[in-house]
Amino acid sequence: MKTQTFDFKSVLKTSLLAGGILIYLALVGLLTAFLDRDIIYKTLSLSFALVLINNFVFGYIAAQHNSEHKWGTAIGIGVILGIVSTAMLSVLVLISEPLNMREMFVNASPTLVKALTFENENIVQGLLPLVLMGTASSVLGAVTFVLPPLWRKVLLAALIAVLAIGTLEELVSDVVTNIFKLFGNKRAAKPALKFFFGRKGWSVNGAIIMFVAAAVGSYLWNWRGSVVKEKIGALPKTAQRNLRIGTLIFLFAVAIFLPNILGGYLSEILVTVAIFTLMGFGLNIVVGFAGLLDLGYVAFFAIGAYTMGVLTSTQLSQTTELVSFGWNFWAALPIAVGMAVLWGILLGVPVLRMRGDYLAIVTLGFGEIIRVLALSNFLQPKIGGAQGILGIAKPTIPWFGGAIVLKSSLELYYLVVVAAALAAFVSWRLRDSRAGRSWMAMREDEDVAEAMGINLIKTKLLAFATGAGFSGLAGAIFAAKLTSIYPHSFNLLISINVLSLIIVGGVGSLPGVVVGGLVLVGLPELLREFSEFRMLIFGALLVTMMLVKPEGFWPAATQKRELHAGDEVEPTPTPEAA
Amino acid sequence: MLNERLRNLSVIDSLLWLLRAAIIVMVLWGTFVGLTSGRADGEGMGQFIQRCTTQTDVGTIQCMGKYSAETWRDFIIFGLAQGGIYALIALGYTLVYGVLFMINFAHGEVFMSGAYTAFFVANAFAKNGFLDSNPIVALGIVLLVSMVTSTIIAILLERIAYRPLRRAPRLVPLITAIGASYFLQYTFRGLYGSGKKVYPDPAILTGKWDIFGIPILKTQVVVFVSAMVLMVVLYWFVQKTKTGKAMRAVAEDKDVALLMGIDVDRVIVITFATGAAMAGAAGVLYGLLFKQVDFIMGFIPGIKAFTAAVLGGIGNIPGAMVGGLFLGVFESVGPSLFLEGLGVPAAYQLKDVIAFTMLVLVLIFRPSGILGETLSEKKA
Amino acid sequence: MASILSAKNVTKRFGGLVAVNNVSVEIPEKSIYSVIGPNGAGKTTFFNCITGFYTPEEGEIIFQGHPIKGIPTDQITRRGISRTYQNIRLFSNMTAMENILVGEEPRLKSTWIGAIFNTPATRREEAEAAAEARRILRFVGLRGLGDQLAKNLPYGAQRRLEIARALASQPKLLLLDEPTAGMNPNETAEMTGFIRHIRDELGVTILLIEHDMRVVMGISDKISVLDYGSKIAEGAPREIRDNPKVIEAYLGTGAAGQVDPA
């Protein structure tokens, strides 16, 4: 957008960048990790799709800067970019074996060479498809920029739909099968699924049909969507409200039937998502509402879990000197939450006077201290040390004299969802109350908030306590879900995960917490091959979000610009401002 | 006057005072019990003290707790060596904080990137015998590779992640830095693998030297001396050179520095680069001292170096040195000195707790550090 | 007339610098009292001593017969002193209404438990608070701007909103720190009229800081002049205007024009 004329140097620069990223992806291992996850069965793996997506995006960017919306130039740019970038990757493939790069870069392996040469014996020949397809993709990207906006949107929507559903084929197949099962006809799903999907990912036919369908759908939406929106906007207030309530009820119903639709494995993931969402609501109060960056949040999760463990465990290991309390889940739950709240306040008191990054580092210190203590021999007699605590009670629900044990993830799901919903409800009520206003005022300007009569001590401690309470609740449920806990489950990464999810969702935004939980906890669980790269992607996501979209995917309404650059009010009261 | 003070003392202040007192008492009590645990059965305290103060050969008769005088000395020397490493890393935190008022949370990863990359060079040299035939040159190259890698990573980090956020609210760059930290860790895990790598042992550094009659491991001597030399060079660079003066000018006031014709962006890049070069050097020293490197090696030393920087007063270069050495020794001596005295089993496990506790306490009670460049509470 | 606030020999130091030096003032109830002085004379520091942001090393501050030195800022606000800032410090990402509701904080009693269960008492209090906030908005002339984010308001409106926020706690003493800073003569005249209106209408005592003498001459009942932290004169506007010490203080800073009677 800066220069609208064709500038060879700038195109070359973008090309080199694109090639550099391809090499990065290869060396970090992303190009080999997803070889088995086919988006289109036996045709396109997610790994290779990464190459194509990279080139598509950079083709688009290069065209944006240089093409003046001319077809010829755009194609030229695409060709240059495609050839340069894939050539760079090819060089890596060619030199990796002769130079024995594997000694240093573990991923410069024969697997990489095989994957990028499509298992061709002759490496040079085998690289040809890579160059051709990469170039085609960057040309497509460059041309996409030149397309009229409507067609651009349609094309992008279709591509994204094919990629996304193809990647998550397992999930989609399961859901379809379960929906049919719900209506009593499990068999009927089979032929359709067989037609659309291969053993993994789309079948070629399925991909084409999906592409066309998504394109048509997107076209219709772009053509007619605004009319629909206008019509909804034109409805009377009460009707709009009914519509909103209807949507809520629908979502609620979906939430209730979700485990049935998703099946065991996916419900398991949902439980994890819900536990993190629950923690997210808590941290959202501390960080989002009150503006106190807490990096030791995992401490309260651990305290909740350990309290639950110590109180309900029936098989404390030999090395502990504890009596078996053997309480049931419900008796221990309030104590676990109470302990977390208590520690939230105890750890909150010393840091009342701290702000900003110092607060972050001190809380990080607290989190680490608690983890190391849990791991040490020092506290082993009390909480099991490295061996952890085993035999934690599962929650039960009394039912006509007997009791139902919530043991499957399907049953636990309801427990966690109720807990998360409760946390969301409490957050929502508090946000819109006097307490919420005090938190926000404090976040905006602590000195002025105090001068307006807000008791900072009470206000901060309330935030710490509520946040810790939610985290403790999550920890207690977590312990009951796993029935055994170990210190290494409570490391700094948990704090960072939770922080990431509220930032990605939108700091201070309640729906944002759910969105963040689904995206950051759900997705990586679905793509199991991802687990190795989860933290890599978290890191990249945190940086990108802060640079590009600090308010998150679902920003809280009034604080949209809070985190944007250039807004800072310098709270430096110089003594002589008079 | 005192009455008035007491009246104004809030509940929170009193709690904090209590906490302070409790910790001091615990440390003192632990030290006392620890040191006097060498008392013979039935020996009274007076006798014990008399015996220990009159005897000259103190090491052999258990006057210093469970450990002999030599052991304590070795603890201290090891502490100084690791303290030198902490101090080198701490310089990076301090320099960047001085100029930008931001905690470069990813600095530990800058340190890791150099150490981890240089390992492959060191390993190659060890394999082809270069490390033993030309040890000085070989180690010099390894050091250089490490410093250059760290510097490149830091410059990229500044350019991509931090520069666009220079005017953003303070928490934004911190969160970015945390993200960058994880991104770098797992990038290097992807590149070099997740296993621990063992640094080669150069023949020239095996064994001990007698220094003033005290036998000290050669590695420890080299690590400590190199760290000190580098720090002196850095101090000279910041105090005497034109670039160093520009750095200090920018730290004082960016806008005024700009008006004086200083290229602020360039100075900030140089600041990052200088800190990173020190961290890279620290990386190789770490490899020599602790032998093992891997992709998460940056986190704990990073936090500790930050503690050292805060301890010495963040933004203050001599402070970082003092803070680093102090923390190194304290951490090395502490578990045996007062934790065992308090009856903690396997006290060495808690050496990280000592460092973290120290960090927390310093930030709570004296954020301006020992050699405090006074940073008001408001800024912190 | 009884005095609502009296400061006795207040001294505040920053290191070697004596920012406020042995200053005593008596502020009569329901008056408009001004503290003037050139830039850097210690006016804002004096303010900060009254509101508890700083604790003066020496001296005593009595508000309505009670000593308030050393009491936390929020407690002092609850006793009836509220303030505005020289460089507007609104909660810029909150709406005008929310800003005022925060200002009402000292009068609210609902608890977080009440908020979670949305008890009738909480609902009633919130409704009353909102009604009061709208009333205040009208009073300061910002009717209909309640849903705007504070930072999106024009400059003059932000000044008024800050006063509205301060009034929301129903203070007995209102501290205004250069309320006309950055305003043109028309806006300044409007603001001075508005300040008098606040006193007449609400019966609030007003302590005003200004470095522009023209602003205070018209509306003040009494004026103190600070220079280099010390009080160099006190009296009715006319006495101040003719006081050679004051003229010197201002001439010394090269602001001769401002001494000219407006």
Ordered structural domains, chain C, with CATH: 1-80+171-262 (3.40.50.300), 92-169 (no CATH)
Residues C113, C80: contact at Cβ < 8 Å? Answer: no
Whether B4 and B30 have beta carbons less than 8 Å apart is answered as: no
Instruction: Give C73's contacts in chain A (Cβ within 8 Å).
Output: 450-451
Residue-number span of the structural domain to which B24 is assigned: 10-66
Q: Nearest CA of chain B to the CA of A540: how many Å? A: 6
Kindly write down the DSSP assignment for every residue of B233-295, as one continuous string. Answer: HHHHHHHHSHHHHHHHHHHH-HHHHHHTT--HHHHHHHHHHHHHHHHHHHHHHHHHHH-EE-T
Helix, strand, coil in percent for chain A, rounding step 5: 70, 5, 25
Examine the pLDDT at A285 and tell me if it is beyond 90. Answer: yes
Region A165-192: mean pLDDT is 79
Structure tokens, A207: 């991909």
Contact A378 B346 (CB under 8 A): yes
Tell me which chain C residue has its CA closest to the CA of residue A575: C45
Domain match, B34 and B151 both = no
How many A×B Cβ pairs under 8 Å? 188
Low-confidence winner among A564-573, B84-93, B195-204 (lowest mean pLDDT): A564-573
Work out the mean pLDDT of chain A and round it to a whole number. 82
Q: Which SS3 state, helix, strand or coil, does residue C211 take? A: coil
**Whether A558 and C149 lie within 8 Å, measured CB to CB:** yes
Weakest-pLDDT range from A114-128, B4-18, C27-41 = B4-18
One domain for residues B102 and B35: no
Provide the whole-model pTM.
Answer: 0.84
The residue-averaged pLDDT of A521-547 equals 82
- Same-domain check for residues B106 and B186: yes
Q: Would you state the structure tokens that stand for residue A558, as one six-digit string?
A: 């009034």
**Region for residue A506 given its phi and psi (left: phi exceeds 0; alpha: psi -120 to 50; beta: otherwise):** left
Query: Which residues on C lie below 8 Å from A456 (Cβ)?
Result: 74
Which residue type does A87 have? Answer: A
Q: What whole-number distance in Å separates Cα of residue A290 and Cα of residue A443?
A: 5
Please indicate if any CB of chain C lies within 8 Å of the CB of B3.
no
Residue closest to A196 by CA, chosen among A219, A220, A162, A158? A162
Which chains lie within 8 Å of chain C at 3 or more CB pairs, if any?
A, B
User: What DSSP letter does each residue of B87-152 carry, written as one string?
Assistant: HHHHHHHHHHHHHH----TTHHHHHHHHHHHHHHHHHHHHHTTHHHHSHHHHHHHHHHHHHHHHHH
Per-residue b or e along C96-129, where b marks 16 or more CB atoms closer than 10 Å to that residue's CB: bbbbbbbbbbbebebebebbbeeeeebeebbeeb
Three-state SS at C61? strand
Which positions in chain C touch B4 (Cβ < 8 Å)?
70
pLDDT over 70 for what percent of chain A?
90
Structure tokens at A317: 């290991």
Task: Please tell me the distance from the alpha carbon of residue B151 to that of residue B281, in angstroms, as a whole number.
Answer: 10
Burial (0-12, 13-18, 19+ Cβ within 10 Å), A153: middle
CB nearest to A453's CB, from C45, C87, C105? C105
More confident of the two residues A335 and A569: A335
pLDDT digits (tens, 9 = 90+) for B145-161: 999 999 999 999 998 88
> Which of A289, A370, A376 is the best mutation test for B, with the most CBs of B within 10 A?
A376
pLDDT of residue B56: 53
Q: Beta C17-28 vs C3-14: how paired, if at all?
A: antiparallel
What whole-number distance in Å separates Cα of residue C199 and Cα of residue C103? 19
Residue that terminates a domain, selected from B36, B66, B96:
B66
E strand or H helix that includes residue C165: helix C155-167
Decide if the complex's ipTM is over 0.95.
Answer: no
Strands B292-293 vs C3-14: parallel, antiparallel or unpaired:
unpaired
What pLDDT is stored for residue B347 in this prediction?
A: 67
- Classified as helix, coil or strand, C233 is strand
What element of type H or E holds C224? Answer: strand C222-227
Name the residue in chain A with its Cα closest to that of B162: A547
Query: Model confidence over A34-91: pLDDT tens digits?
Result: 888 888 887 788 888 889 999 999 988 888 887 666 788 888 888 989 999 999 998 8
Residue B16 distance to chain A (closest CA, Å): 7
- Shortest distance between the Cα of A349 and any Cα of chain B, in A, equals 7
| Overall average pLDDT of the B165-172 stretch | 79
Is residue B379 one of the residues assigned to a domain?
A: no
Mean local confidence (pLDDT), C135-148: 87
Q: Chain B: nearest CA to A39, how far in angstroms?
A: 23
Is B255 an 8 Å CB contact of chain C? no
Asked if residue B2 is part of any domain, the answer here is no
Per-position b or e across A190-223, b if 16+ CB within 10 A of its CB:
eeebeebbbebbbbeebbeebbeebbeebbeeee
Residues C110/A435, Cβ–Cβ less than 8 Å? no
In sign, the C-alpha dihedral spanning A313, A315, A320, A324 is positive
Q: Do residues B140 and B261 both lie within one domain?
A: yes
Q: Is the pLDDT of residue A279 over 90?
A: yes
Cα–Cα distances in Å, from A406 out to A304, A357, C63? Answer: 19, 42, 63
Per the CB < 8 Å rule, is C72 touching A453?
Answer: no
Q: Which of residues 57-76 of C touch A (CB under 8 A)?
A: 72-74
What are the C-alpha distances in Å from A165 to residues A189, A219, A330, B99? 17, 19, 41, 48
The answer to whether residue B151 sits within a structural domain is yes
Q: Are residues B110 and B242 in the same domain?
A: yes
Higher pLDDT, B338 or A474: A474
d(CA C57, nearest CA chain B) in Å: 11
Which has the higher per-residue pLDDT, A217 or A200?
A: A217
**Higher-pLDDT residue of A31, B11:** A31
Is B76 within a domain? yes
CA closest to C94 among chain A residues? A558
Across the range C7-22, mean pLDDT stands at: 85
How far lies C153's CA from each of A551, A561, C15, in Å? 22, 15, 39
Gap between the Cα atoms of A168 and A171, Å rounded:
5
Task: Look at residues B28, B48, B66 and tell me which one is the last residue of a structural domain.
Answer: B66
CB A140 within 8 A of CB A78: yes
> What gap in Å lies between CA B157 and CA B269, rounded to an integer?
10
Strands C222-227 vs C58-63: parallel, antiparallel or unpaired: unpaired
Question: In this structure, are B354 and B279 located in the same domain?
Answer: yes
The reported pLDDT for the residue numbered B40 is 62
- C152 and chain A in contact, CB less than 8 A: no
Q: Cβ separation of B179 and A29 shorter than 8 Å?
A: no
Distance CA C214, CA C261 (A): 7
Containing H/E element for C174?
strand C173-177
Task: Give the model's confidence band at A265: pLDDT under 50 very low, under 70 low, under 90 confident, else very high.
Answer: confident
Q: Closest by alpha carbon to A32, among A100, A111, A144, A88?
A: A111
Dist CA C215 CA C210 (whole Å): 7
- C-facing residues of A in 450-479 (CB < 8 A) are 450-456, 462, 466
How far A407 CA lies from chain B's nearest CA (Å)? 35
Please check whether residue A516 is in contact with residue A557, taking contact to mean a CB–CB distance below 8 angstroms: no
Q: State the CATH number of the domain containing residue B101.
A: 1.10.3470
Nearby residues of A497 by Cβ (< 8 Å), 6 or more positions away: A276, A520, A521, A538
Q: Inter-chain contact B10–C55, Cβ cutoff 8 Å?
A: no
Asked if residue B306 has pLDDT above 90, the reply is: no
State the Cα torsion A563-A567-A570-A571 to the nearest 10°.
-50
pLDDT exceeds 50 at position A306: yes
What pLDDT score was predicted for residue A336? Answer: 92
DSSP assignment letter at B336 = I
Q: What is the pLDDT, as a whole number, of residue C260?
A: 44
For the beta carbon of residue B206, count every other beta carbon within 10 angstroms: 10
Mention every residue, 6+ apart, whose C-beta is less than 8 A from residue B67: B75, B336
pLDDT tens track for B322-369 = 888 888 888 888 777 777 666 666 667 777 888 888 888 887 777 666
More confident residue, B1 or A534: A534
Q: Which of A184-188, A355-359, B149-153, B232-236 is modeled with the greatest confidence?
A: B149-153
The tens digit of pLDDT for each residue in B225-241 reads 888 888 888 888 888 88
Q: How confident is the model at residue A128 (pLDDT cuts 50, 70, 90)?
A: confident
Looking at residue A445, its amino acid is: D
Residue B241 CB partners (closer than 8 Å, separation 6+): none
Query: Which of B66, B98, B113 marks a domain boundary?
Result: B66
CB contact under 8 A, C70 and B7: yes
Distance from C-alpha of A462 to C-alpha of A468, rounded to nearest angstrom: 10
Q: Which residues contact B365 (CB under 8 A, 6 or more apart)?
A: B16, B20
Residues of C in contact with A353 (CB under 8 A): none
Q: How far is CA A354 from CA A209, B306, B309, B356, B380, in A?
A: 58, 17, 18, 17, 7
Interface contact B4, partner C, CB < 8 A: yes
Q: What is the mean pLDDT of residues A202-217?
A: 87
pLDDT of C180-211, one tens digit each?
888 888 888 888 889 999 988 888 999 998 87
Indicate the burial class of A319 (C-beta count within 10 angstroms; 0-12, 13-18, 19 or more).
exposed
The predicted model gives A528-550 an average pLDDT of 82
Band (pLDDT 50/70/90 cuts) for residue B58 is very low
pLDDT band per the 50, 70, 90 thresholds, residue A300: very high
What's residue A472's pLDDT?
A: 94
User: What confidence score (pLDDT) does residue B39 get?
Assistant: 62
Give whole-number Cα distances, A484 to A312, A319, A390, in Å.
11, 16, 4
Q: How far apart are CA A129 and CA A86, in angstroms?
A: 10
What pLDDT is stored for residue A1 in this prediction?
A: 45
Q: What dihedral do alpha carbons A404, A405, A406, A408 form, nearest 10°? A: -110
Q: What is the pLDDT of residue B237?
A: 87
Residue A573 token pair = 């009261």
**pLDDT number for residue B368:** 67
Strand partners, B198: B292
- pLDDT at position A321 is 61
Q: Judge if B357 and B241 occupy the same domain.
A: yes
C-beta atoms of A437 and C45 within 8 A: no
Residues B52 and B155 in one domain: no
Assess contact for C79 and C65: CB atoms under 8 A: no
Are A559 and C93 inside 8 Å of each other by CB? yes
Residues in chain B: 380
Would you call A538 and B179 a contact, using CB atoms and an 8 Å cutoff? Answer: yes
Domain identity same for B32 and B143: no
Taking the C-alpha atoms of B104, B148, B267 and B232 in order, what is their torsion angle to the nearest 10 degrees? 90
The count of C-alpha atoms lying within 13 angstroms of the C-alpha of A116, restricted to the half-sphere facing its C-beta, is 35
A361, B19: Cβ pair inside 8 Å?
Answer: no
Query: Is B81 found in the same domain as B50?
Result: no
pLDDT reading at B253 higher than 50 = yes
Regarding whether B258 and B171 lie in a shared domain, the answer is: yes
Rounded to the nearest integer, the mean pLDDT of chain B is: 79
Say if residue B48 is in the same domain as residue B185.
no
Q: Which two tokens stand for residue C104?
A: 């009402």
Q: What's the confidence (pLDDT) of residue A571?
A: 38
- Say if B370 falls within a structural domain: no
User: What dihedral do alpha carbons A148, A152, A153, A158 form, nearest 10°?
Assistant: 140
For residue B157, give both structure tokens.
Answer: 């980090």
Q: B197-198 and C66-67: which strand pairing?
A: unpaired
How many structural domains compose chain B?
2
